[in-house]
Amino acid sequence: MKKLAVVAAVIASVLSLDVCAGNTYVGAGLGYQSMWANSIKFTGWRPGIFIGYGGRMDDDSDDYYLALEFASTWVSEIKNDYVNRDQSVRMAPNLSLSLLPGVVMAPYTMLYGRFGLGEAKRSVENDWLRFFSAGVGVEYDLTPCWAMRAEADY
């Protein structure tokens, strides 16, 4: 069994748009993943979708935000520099459930963190691995119901 040394991912959104309906929101994202174990390296684009429920926590100043989000990503473009394809570290699909606490920094800009649990399917071995993810991101409101965000996850 391989040791997974580092899983670095920009999973949920390099350029991600989400639309809100009350406190529920849905969106699509495009991420770039880089992961390696020993001398095996795998990189690829990860498109995905997400749905969440969240809102501002402080009625007086609306400075704090909290959301719960389910996300699913898959691999589209693949580059694997390991020659033995029977031992690939490719993970697809990837399902996660995350808590997103945030702080409003400006009227249309929010800084948030991501703390989540998930599962990813290892393609060659055909088994599911559980993981913990943590990240940080920034969200900018384009309109009252459209936002764009950039995020980096580990």
pLDDT greater at residue 139 or residue 38:
139
| pTM of structure | 0.75
Residue 24, pLDDT score: 87
The per-residue pLDDT of the chain, averaged, comes to 77
pLDDT, one tens digit per residue, over 97-114 is 999 999 999 989 999 999
Residue 8, pLDDT score: 32
Residue 3, pLDDT score: 33
pLDDT, one tens digit per residue, over 18-39 is 555 568 889 999 888 777 766 6
Q: Is the pLDDT of residue 72 over 70?
A: yes
Residue 77, pLDDT score: 52
Counting Cβ atoms within 10 Å, is residue 18 exposed (0-12), middle (13-18) or buried (19+)? buried
Residue 23, pLDDT score: 82
At residue 6, the 3 state secondary structure works out as: strand
Q: Is the pLDDT of residue 58 over 60?
A: yes
Report the C-alpha gap between 8 and 34 in whole angstroms: 5
Residue 108 token pair: 């249309």
Residue 52, pLDDT score: 93
pLDDT greater at residue 136 or residue 37:
136
Question: Do 113 and 134 contact (CB within 8 A), yes or no?
Answer: yes
Question: Do 104 and 62 contact (CB within 8 A), yes or no?
Answer: yes
100 Cβ contact partners less than 8 Å away, ≥ 6 residues apart: 52, 54, 65, 66, 67, 68, 69, 112, 113, 114
